[in-house]
Chain A
Amino acid sequence: MNDELEQLYQTTYTAVVRFLYRKVWDAERAEDLAQEVFVRALAHRPEKPRAWLFAVAANLARDEARAAVRRKRHLTLLKGDPAAAPATAASADDLVERDEQMSSVHDALDALTPRDREILLLWDAGLSYPEIAAQTGLAVGAVGTTLARARKRLVEAYDRQHQRNHAAHS
């Protein structure tokens, strides 16, 4: 089983990192969490490891987001104190945008419903329809429908955004 997990690690590590990155928007954090996922896999030795990895990753990312929200709230409370002005130093909440396109895609992704977004990201991470179905509670037949909708909406939202940006610049 150890070998199997190591194999899986080699083949899916990058996908897990990317999956996490699209949730936590912090490259280093994504890598830390990805490693955490595999450490836990060693501890739990799940039967269906590939799907399990992403389920755990999703949970970790969600916990991370909650913690970030709490931190943000905390920072907001401190805002009244001039000495405690939150520095522009990157926290995990900060988006590290490399270019405008990335920003547009990010916005387009945000335009999706959480469920559509999740299924799209899981597909992009390499999970199969049955794996996606198992993790999200969807019927296998409904996965295709959801992906169809999600893809269409993503591209439409991106095009809209992109047009807007273009219009702004011209």
Chain B
Amino acid sequence: MTGNTNGTMRHIPEEELHAYLDQALSRQQCVEIESHLAFCPACRAERDGIAALRDRTTALLATLAPPLRLAPPFDTIRQQHAARTSQRQHRLRSITWAASLVAAVGLGWTASRIVSPDLPERLGSIPYASEAAASRPPAPAPRTAGDSSLARALSAAPAVLAAPDSAAAKAPAVARAEAPRRRPAAVRSDVAADSGRAEARVATPGIRAPAFELSTLGQPSTGPDLELDGVWRTMSWAGAKAEAGDALPHLDGLPVVEVQLQGSREDGGRPLMMVAQQLASGEVIRTFEGPVADISQLLAKRTPTNPEPGALLTDSTGGQPSSTASSSGRARTTMAMQRGDRMLAITGTLPADSLRAMIRRLNAEMRTK
């Protein structure tokens, strides 16, 4: 920048003086400039002019300032940040809750249109009642996207008998359709911690403890019992415990009315299990546990005829045969929860909320075993 002191001197460019005064130059550059200034009055004058310009600019800009106020304490900022983080989490939960609610309601509507136990001849047209029908289109004009995807899942279930792995594969697809905005990272595996809110989860077999909730609102039925397919062995409570051990699905504290098992340990897995328990009101709830495909199929069935009350029941405790839904006239509801490649279900003539609470309790109890 500076020429030699002996010959013609280059003067310091304007912008360099600005930078110099702004202290934006390196030490080396500063030294060069200062040594030039020592010999060059013209540049000294230029420098003074620029210094004044800088000062005027600063003074003018200083008038463009709001009335001075103290900065609020930094904690205010921290609080706002914390509030926003929890808001985001809450919003995510609300979205998934709403999504699952829409799906559940939609499914109930769809299911009630399909299932009509009063007209046995229509049973043949239930898409998911048999393997043969699985290839048919799943549901009549579903109302929402949630409907069709869940209905499709039910119809897919029987087809799974041939390919046991795909049921689990289909379930995640359904869950994802229900709550598309859900991010996998937000999945919580602790179901018991929820306080009465339904949540749809992505069921990824083998990765976490997933939960997938269906709720099927059936027609009010006079024949309350689900027909139990296959070879069911009625057991005593003790016998069932001996065979299935702690895996028997039941709610602590309620008298057991019946236990039935299908399949055995020799099959390479836990048997399909049904435990009927009686509530104080006299109503019977049934708890099922077994492979996803089997349970799904079971839940999809309805009995074509009304069995005699108690006909399917053998009373292992020696008490009364349980009264059934016919007395209360209420619809029999089912709540199901997927746990890995198995499914837990409760049926009863209770409001969905009660069943949901029960299945959560059941899940929690079973998990601790």
Contacts and interface: CB of A to CB of B under 8 A. Distances in A.
The secondary-structure label for the interface of chain B is: helix
Given A155-B53, A158-B60, A129 B14 contact: no
Contacts of A165: none
Interface stretch (B17-25, B187-195, B224-232, B244-252): B17-25
Contacts, number: 92
Nearest to A123: B22
Chain A, interface size: which category?
35 or more
B54 A128 contact: no
Contacts of A21: 64-66
Nearest to A150: B57
Interface residues of B, number: 32
A138 to B, nearest CB: 12
Contacts of B64: 18, 21-22, 102, 105-106, 109
B113 to A, nearest CB: 47
Interface string B267-280: 00000000000000
Nearest to A29: B66
The secondary-structure label for the interface of chain A is: helix
Interface stretch (B75-83, B253-261, B288-296): B75-83
5 contacts: A21-B65, A42-B77, A43-B85, A129-B19, A147-B19
Complex A-B, nearest 6 residue pairs according to Cβ-Cβ distance, in ascending order = A27-B66, A144-B19, A13-B71, A129-B24, A42-B81, A144-B15
Interface of B: 14-16, 18-19, 22, 24, 50, 53-54, 56-58, 60-61, 63-69, 71-72, 74, 76-78, 80-81, 84-85
Interface of A: 6, 9-10, 13-14, 17-18, 21-22, 27, 30-31, 35, 38-39, 42-43, 101-102, 105-106, 108-109, 120-121, 123-124, 128-129, 140, 143-145, 147-148, 151-152, 154-155, 158
